[in-house]
């Protein structure tokens, strides 16, 4: 996978990933299925931030960051 986002995009995705993980942690006691979904999204977005790769951009869609 070739990097397709810059440092600003990586920081934005990293922050979003942490928010998803936090939301998942808050939902564990109320809805396990939804918490699992948030955790999975958080892990994937953190992966994008660490690799500098965006799945949406890889599909040819232009993103603002």
Domain residue spans in the chain?
7-58
**pLDDT confidence of residue 4:** 93
**pLDDT confidence of residue 63:** 86
- How many angstroms separate the CA atoms of 56 and 25, rounded? 26
**pLDDT confidence of residue 6:** 95
String of DSSP letters for 9-37: HHHHHHHHHHHHHHHHHHHTTT-HHHHHH
7-27 helix and 32-51 helix, angle to the nearest 10 degrees: 160
**pLDDT confidence of residue 17:** 98
Q: Taking the chain (65 residues) in consecutive chunks of 10 residues, what is each chunk's mean pLDDT? A: 93 98 98 98 98 94 86
This prediction's pTM: 0.89
**pLDDT confidence of residue 38:** 99
């Amino acid at each position: 996978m070739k990097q397709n986002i810059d440092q600003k995009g990586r920081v934005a995705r990293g922050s979003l990933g942490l928010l998803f993980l936090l939301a998942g942690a808050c939902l564990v006691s109320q809805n396990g299925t939804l918490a699992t979904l948030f955790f999975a999204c958080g892990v994937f977005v953190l992966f994008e931030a660490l690799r500098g790769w965006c799945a949406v951009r890889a599909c040819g869609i232009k993103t603002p960051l």
